[in-house]
Chain A
């Protein structure tokens, strides 16, 4: 494994470490309608979940040719950014993507 990947893994692990060493004070507070408790702050409901989904998808654009989220007619998030999907295609096969998938 290259140093590049080790760097990436280190960053990932650093996030986890920061989580485990952070404040352990659980903040319980009631929020007004339209807001939700996010780490002790009343935040616009749904914003945290939307940001979480965005982050996971951006980190896993090559997990497969279908991102593991339920199909939604109004979801315009990219399926895949991978324009090199068909690397190693052999002669006579599907060789060149004249039209790489539109992310």
Chain B
């Protein structure tokens, strides 16, 4: 089935956040303030992003619109405040507060719903010590604060949208705490090795659920997603016009639980271990031409799912998780007056259907191509404007659904236009 989606994706487009036919508008304003004593930099950044999308089935895709096509909009205004300083030559401190507001509405017939809410807020702090010889340790703490709206009752639940089409596919979680510790080890003037480990504690939050008597979505259920532990090794090289980075990480997740059957910690399943390899490279041919590319590969091993009795977790019979690949590339040309333009391209591939143990359904294999261009211009040495246009093509295999019902969602393909624009102002 052909999907035609009119939508918008701004920064999300760079992540592959677009499917179907999309239009995007993004206005970014960034203000950077340098303190008088030069020890601290304060940066404030805010944007306005507008997304408008349409497709043939609305979202979620397992329900057919009562009539017409699916469509929706999202207005997202993220903002961030960062503080970076060197209180003395050996210490570097970096703090970021990120938040925003979102207004989303889906107007698909039979799936109409809207929400206006702050999003969750994130706080991060990174402390780096540069007083040792041979290695540079750092510690970080990332926090997700539940200022958003995780439970969407009634039809407002339909305001959740495909995260590939809009920036915010969901609007709230619980408190998450993520400490990380690591070391940078300079191997030479151009080469650094980085080793780090992190842990993400994910706490419970409320979500809407179905009232089994009335059939309405008015009840509340507690959800706790599994914690995650990760180790990462990375190597970075930079010399003159050439820069190259690569990293590999391995993660293991804890058991995900929910409040069911009179228990607050009913085990549901455990996501399988995940391996991720990512890398990036760039090269400047001269003052005018430069090229860059980045990408990743991620693989998740078998999940543990409930046994038929619903009492214990057992390894699933086959690996329901997919391999996921993505490559982005771009070429820049910079004019003498500072105006920069260049083409971009990206490719994403999910290699096979993945089985969702929680919903007894599949997510389809998927391929996504995108090609476009960017433009960037320094109006003054403190004001920068930029824009992006991108064409996206996407293909999704049929979604088999539960046995004997297949295909629940037939083969789909789509294409997209993405337009983005923004500005940066430095004070």
Interface residues of A (CB under 8 A from B): 1-2, 4-5, 7-9, 11-16, 18-19, 22-28, 35, 37-44, 46-48, 50-52, 54-56, 58-76, 78-79, 81, 83-103
A103-B130 in contact (CB<8A): no
Which residues of B are found within 8 Å of A67, using beta-carbon distances?
Answer: 122, 142
Which residues of B are found within 8 Å of A66, using beta-carbon distances?
Answer: 78, 98, 119-120, 122, 144
Closest to A85 in B: B170
Quick one: which of B78, B89, B200, B232 contacts A62, CB cutoff 8 A? B200
> What are 18 A-B contacts with C-beta separation under 8 Å?
A5-B229, A9-B199, A22-B134, A38-B130, A48-B184, A51-B236, A52-B138, A56-B198, A62-B202, A63-B144, A68-B97, A68-B122, A79-B12, A81-B274, A88-B225, A96-B60, A96-B363, A99-B162
Closest to A10 in B: B197
Q: A23–B133 Cα gap in the complex (Å)?
A: 6
Chain B 327-379 interface residues, beta-carbon cutoff 8 Å to A:
328, 348, 350, 354, 356, 358-359, 361-364, 366, 368
Q: A26–B91 Cα gap in the complex (Å)?
A: 11
- Knowing A43-B192, A54-B234, A63-B142, say if A99 contacts B157 (CB, 8 Å): no
Interface centre among A2, A9, A52 (most CB of B within 10 A): A52
Q: A79–B271 Cα gap in the complex (Å)?
A: 19
Quick one: which of B135, B144, B209 contacts A19, CB cutoff 8 A? B135
A87-B197 in contact (CB<8A): no
A70-B45 in contact (CB<8A): yes
Interface centre among B163, B254, B271, B274 (most CB of A within 10 A): B163
Q: A36–B420 Cα gap in the complex (Å)?
A: 35
Q: A69–B142 Cα gap in the complex (Å)?
A: 10
Which residues of B are found within 8 Å of A42, using beta-carbon distances?
Answer: 189
Interface flag for B117 (CB, 8 Å): no
Q: A70–B183 Cα gap in the complex (Å)?
A: 23
Which residues of A are found within 8 Å of B420, using beta-carbon distances?
Answer: 73
Q: A81–B189 Cα gap in the complex (Å)?
A: 33
Interface flag for B61 (CB, 8 Å): yes
Quick one: which of A75, A97, A102 contacts B11, CB cutoff 8 A? A75
B183-A65 in contact (CB<8A): no
Other 16 A-B pairs with CB < 8 A, given A83-B321, A94-B160: A2-B254, A12-B199, A19-B181, A26-B90, A51-B184, A51-B192, A54-B245, A55-B182, A62-B176, A63-B178, A66-B120, A72-B11, A87-B225, A92-B210, A100-B350, A103-B296
Task: Determine how close the nearest CB of chain B comes to the CB of A30; give it in whole angstroms.
Answer: 11
Closest to A28 in B: B89
Which residues of A are found within 8 Å of B231, using beta-carbon distances?
Answer: 8, 11, 59
Closest to A31 in B: B189
- Knowing A68-B124, A73-B28, say if A95 contacts B359 (CB, 8 Å): yes
- In this complex, the interface size class of chain B, counting residues with CB under 8 Å from chain A, is 35 or more
Interface flag for B179 (CB, 8 Å): yes
A39-B186 in contact (CB<8A): yes
A18-B132 in contact (CB<8A): no
Interface residues of B (CB under 8 A from A): 10-12, 14-17, 19, 26, 28, 43, 45, 47, 59-62, 78, 80, 82, 89-90, 96-98, 119-120, 122-124, 126, 128-140, 142-144, 152, 157, 160, 162-165, 168-170, 173, 176, 178-186, 188-190, 192, 194-200, 202, 207-210, 217, 221, 223, 225, 227-232, 234, 236, 238-239, 243, 245, 247, 249, 251-252, 254, 256, 258, 268-269, 271, 274, 276, 278, 294, 296, 298, 300, 321-322, 324, 326, 328, 348, 350, 354, 356, 358-359, 361-364, 366, 368, 386, 388, 396, 399, 409, 420, 422
Closest to B420 in A: A73
Q: A2–B363 Cα gap in the complex (Å)?
A: 29
Which residues of A are found within 8 Å of B138, using beta-carbon distances?
Answer: 52
Task: Determine how close the nearest CB of chain B comes to the CB of A88; give it in whole angstroms.
Answer: 5
Give 9 closest A-B pairs by Cβ, nearest first: A59-B198, A8-B229, A102-B16, A64-B144, A68-B122, A19-B137, A101-B163, A12-B197, A68-B124
B60-A98 in contact (CB<8A): yes
Q: A98–B20 Cα gap in the complex (Å)?
A: 13
Task: Determine how close the nearest CB of chain B comes to the CB of A50; give it in whole angstroms.
Answer: 7
A35-B189 in contact (CB<8A): yes
B210-A91 in contact (CB<8A): yes
Quick one: which of A7, A27, A35 contacts B229, CB cutoff 8 A? A7
Q: A87–B253 Cα gap in the complex (Å)?
A: 13
A15-B179 in contact (CB<8A): no
Task: Determine how close the nearest CB of chain B comes to the CB of A94; give it in whole angstroms.
Answer: 4
